[in-house]
Structure 1
Amino acid sequence: MSAPLRIAVIQGSTRDGRLGPTVARWIDAHAADRPDMTTDLIDLAETPLPTVFPQLGQAPARAEDRDLLAAVSPRIAAADAFVVVTPEYNHSYPASLKNAIDWHNREWHAKPVGFVAYGGFSAGLRAIEHLRGVFAELHAVTLRDAVGLQGAWGQFDAAGRAVDPATDTAATAMLDRLAWWAQVLREGRAKTPYGA
């Protein structure tokens, strides 16, 4: 049996009063309960990244920027796959998430990305559609199966459990697909480094 897949769960919201941590802990628990996965929950509010980029191809000049990146970048690089947890803001995803994506490049290559999105009527699906194009540019594989939470504030009880069993079923389906792609792509990268 192969080593468990390393799944980075990236919680993209940094807004005060956010629902994101509840959603992220819920999907993280689903993944962590599986024998084929280990998880690393990266909350972008707890691990903020710089917002001023260096000249293309250069390392950040400021030591504090390098320290902020050191708290996140190795964790993204070590992951075999990702679950991105995002709210939908103005028909898209938050700037904090785009910032975290843009600080990295090769770390995303040839790795699968699953999505858990939440919002009002749209269930966050417009944020997912915007993210698909961004991750395609970074040579990542996005999953068709995603979890969308409509009217998200009413989707979890006080203990952070999903109130609708169908939500847990959707999470299981998405993680099953993520596991398949993560295993195949991990084996592929080991056999032939991506871009070689």
Structure 2
Amino acid sequence: MPDFGSARGARSSVQPEWARPGLHTAPAPAAQEGILRGRHLADSEEPVAVFLIGMRVNRWRAVRQWLPVFRAMPRMLKELAADPESGLLSYRLLLGPGPRQVAAVQYWRRAGDVRAFAAANDREHRPAEAAFWRRYKAGRGAVGIWHELLSVRAGAYEAVYADMPPIGLGAAVGLTPAVHRPSGYGYVAATEAEVAAGLHAEVSVPAEGSR
């Protein structure tokens, strides 16, 4: 994971992965060494917005162009994490492919929260964006940025985890044990009896055409 420190070397306190405390709709199952044995579903019936944002260093020597962009994201994430009303549920920082690129995967309550943050004059984003575009022309492609905002209605997504610690959307909204659908396609929440029987942890081959 890269060091999101300042130009003077002071290390930022932003975490590589974070989920807002107290948001879980159900308590996470007991874990051994952080690993949840078996299959689990993100336990949510709400819509969700997934915001992907990243940067690419195109010319390493143009430090004045890419370093401010690199440093801006931790400030925004710290600001959002500290505000329970921001709409940010969780995030994960990713490095790659290669050393030139870094990205953040963010989960939000709704796309409108992302847009509201981006447009707010009293938030970190507006001055960071204005500063970037001022440098953009002079930089002549020294640094690239990108983002993708995906708004997903309730019931239109599936988040499944097998033998994993809480991560991603599941870390934000909580996890519930899962089994294959009776039809053989996809997963559903396991019943208490199925959990007691350990069916969510069985190693099985899904029916043809299923996942």
Bucket of the pairwise TM-score, normalised by the shorter protein:
under 0.3
The structure with the greater share of residues assigned to helix is: 1
Q: Which has the higher contact order (CA 8 A, sep 6+)?
A: 2
TM-score (norm 2): 0.26
TM-score (norm 1): 0.27
